[in-house]
Chain A
Amino acid sequence: MSDVTSGPASEPVVDPAPGDHPPIAYSPRAAAWARRRASFAQLARSVRSDRIAFGGLVVLVLFIVMAVAAPLISSRSGLSAVDSVGNLAWARPSWEFPMGTDHLGRSVAAQFVWGARVSLFVGFAATVLTVGIGSFVGIVAGFFGGWTDSVMMRLTDWFLVIPFLPLAIVLATVLDRSLWNIVFVIGVTTWPATARLVRAQVLTVKQRLYVDRARALGASRTHIVGRHILPNVAPLILANVTLAVPISILTETTLAFLGLADPNQTSWGKTLEEAFGAGAISRNAWWYYLPAGLGIVAVVLAFTLFGRALEEILDPRLRKRSRGQR
């Protein structure tokens, strides 16, 4: 890792990548962008050389492509019980229905493809919310210190001590059943861990000399946070994102299984709920409950493996340790 955690933004830095022609930095901004490009290239190289991380990334890309391209792969009408009236219920996998049909004659494959869309969407949207709240609280608490810090960390501790799944369940029960409420519920219940992590990193960045220098030169707080603090905690936040997505997806799955999801949206958790409720287990209709579960396992595993590798590359504390032992 070259420059992710160092240097003020205004110093011309030459691209350190070996073999490349160093670009000539004409302005501080060009230099900053050159440095960012170099850091990103370095990150890409690290990921590519890590077989597990790269494998996880490939699986993720495949699932994301499938989710985005869902309308091209399978017609939405496959999800509707009304449109599936002529189909045989509980049919085993066949050429027409590669994953068989469910208790209403709907195609399980269509549910799998469209379910990926909802599960991944909830995973990403909830992560944006949780990492957004967590980073905001962490940066504000860490940067301003004093009583702001005390109040915010006390609140964080309180949230950490409330069991998050029961809290999510209660919130989801009290609110209406909708996709956005599920996103909201996961977001507001999982942010405290991110807040603590980001705060710790902000506290160490705050001590750096160049922050003092910027302050001595009369830089505003906004400038210091935006130009010095944020870029330096960004890698940590990125690693946190990849670890928050699997947690969000698993939480959505559980909430959907408990019947708290939007009744009109097919997610993988919803499919499992319906399969269980319709008696797929006692009928031995493995084609109904296996695909959704395997999809969850594949996506969560891929995110976790990729996220852990990324964390090891980006988190300065972990990096030191793994370098010593590898």
Chain B
Amino acid sequence: MRARFVVAKVAGSLATLAFVLVVNFFLFRVVNDDPTASMFRGRNMSADQIQQRREQFDLTGSRLEQFIAYVGQTLRGNLGDSFLSNRPVTTEIREAIWPTVALVGTSTVFAMVIGITLGIYAGWRRRSKFDVASTSFSMFTYSVPDFWLGMLLLAFFSVSLGWFPTGGFEDAGSTATGLTALLDQAHHMVLPALTLTLAYIGEYMIVMRSSILDTVGEDYLQLARAKGLRDADVRKRHAVPNALLPVVSLTALNFGFILSGAIAVESIFSWPGLGQATLEAIRGPDFPMLQGLFLLFSASLIVANLAVDLLYGFLDPRVAGR
């Protein structure tokens, strides 16, 4: 892989990150030129308190001064203090990040494995009953709002059957440690993870299926068959490896959505992750928190995009050579 290719991609990502910083500033200070105003509406606060809040959010001084202050702070890793808890946004995020990574990460891996497997068999036997069934299933899950699916699962498995807890990360007041605590957390994670897995499967399935369909007519498969390979070997050794590329990039890209992927679903299951934090920040409204979360969500997607580009350059040399 050429060094120039890597440098260009990294520079592009940094430029995008800079754009996100500008957007982030623009959204919170220009679209709504005094974001604190909506907070004070209908609340009993003295002029002093309001001024304090405004200073805390750096709303004093000209736009340019505000922008420079914001960029400087952000680069030093200071995202400000949450309006709701008065603690640094970075601390709040650090506490909420692991539940989300555990939940969405697990779901992404399950969805990937199941979706790719379904896609391979569906594409290989086009128009078979299996293909029709799994394609219909994927179209259906694609059309269902994920949080509504969560509501259905919650109503059925938790409320009606009582198999799973109705929400949270672990039993209230639990003092368990070690394996017991882990099992308890896993028990709480089953339903939200099932919801997200079902919601994500369709995308993998459809992309894998159409990629397999693209390879089915290729000459090298014809050759493999002519050599007398069994159908399963043609599929496993020749079709699948060649068809995997688009799915690899989809997967890498979806890792960028792990942090922001479960905003509504987390709130259904009161899962104490970044999604729940986002919802609380919306309700506040807690602008420093929302601003920090948005920066984090965007940055993770930018990094994932960069990873996809570099991976593509590595897996498909034609891309980097051009």
Question: Which residues of chain B in 276-315 are interfacial with respect to chain A, using CB atoms and an 8 Å cutoff?
Answer: 278-279, 281-283, 285, 290-291, 293-294, 297-298, 301-302, 305
* Mask: chain A, 253-292; 1 = CB below 8 Å from B; 0 = not: 1100111100000000100100110000110101001000
Give min CB distance, B33 to chain A, whole Å: 10
Asked whether, in the complex, the Cβ of A174 is within 8 Å of the Cβ of B159, the reply is no
Asked whether, in the complex, the Cβ of A161 is within 8 Å of the Cβ of B301, the reply is yes
A325 within 8 A of B: yes
Asked whether, in the complex, the Cβ of A301 is within 8 Å of the Cβ of B305, the reply is no
A219 within 8 A of B: no
Which bucket holds chain B's interface residue count? 35 or more
A–B Cβ pairs within 8 angstroms, 27 of them: A157-B16, A162-B298, A163-B257, A163-B301, A165-B260, A167-B294, A169-B263, A170-B294, A171-B31, A250-B145, A253-B145, A257-B145, A259-B279, A276-B268, A284-B159, A289-B148, A289-B151, A289-B155, A293-B144, A293-B148, A293-B151, A296-B143, A296-B148, A300-B143, A304-B139, A305-B139, A324-B217
Partner-binding segment picked from B19-27, B80-88, B107-115:
B19-27
Asked whether, in the complex, the Cβ of B264 is within 8 Å of the Cβ of A258, the reply is yes
Q: Please name the residue on chain A nearest to B22 by beta carbon.
A: A158
* Mask: chain B, 20-43; 1 = CB below 8 Å from A; 0 = not: 100100011001100100000000
A65 within 8 A of B: no
Known: A174-B27, A174-B28, A246-B143. A166 touches B282 (CB 8 A): no
Question: Which residues of chain B in 154-207 are interfacial with respect to chain A, using CB atoms and an 8 Å cutoff?
Answer: 154-155, 159-160, 166
Docked pose: A208 CA to B285 CA in angstroms: 54
- A contact residues around B130 at 8 Å (CB): none
- Extra contacts besides A170-B27, A293-B151, A296-B148 (19): CB < 8 Å: A158-B20, A161-B302, A161-B305, A162-B301, A166-B260, A166-B297, A169-B263, A170-B290, A171-B31, A174-B32, A175-B32, A254-B263, A257-B145, A257-B147, A276-B151, A276-B268, A284-B159, A284-B160, A293-B145
Docked pose: A257 CA to B148 CA in angstroms: 10
Question: Which residues of chain A in 138-171 are interfacial with respect to chain B, using CB atoms and an 8 Å cutoff?
Answer: 157-158, 161-163, 165-167, 169-171
A88 within 8 A of B: no
Docked pose: A143 CA to B147 CA in angstroms: 42
Asked whether, in the complex, the Cβ of A297 is within 8 Å of the Cβ of B143, the reply is yes
Which bucket holds chain A's interface residue count? 35 or more
Q: Identify which of B16, B35, B155, B263 contacts A284 (C-beta below 8 A).
A: B155
A173 within 8 A of B: yes
* Mask: chain B, 251-274; 1 = CB below 8 Å from A; 0 = not: 000001100100110011000000
Docked pose: A278 CA to B179 CA in angstroms: 36
Known: A174-B27, A258-B264. A282 touches B298 (CB 8 A): no
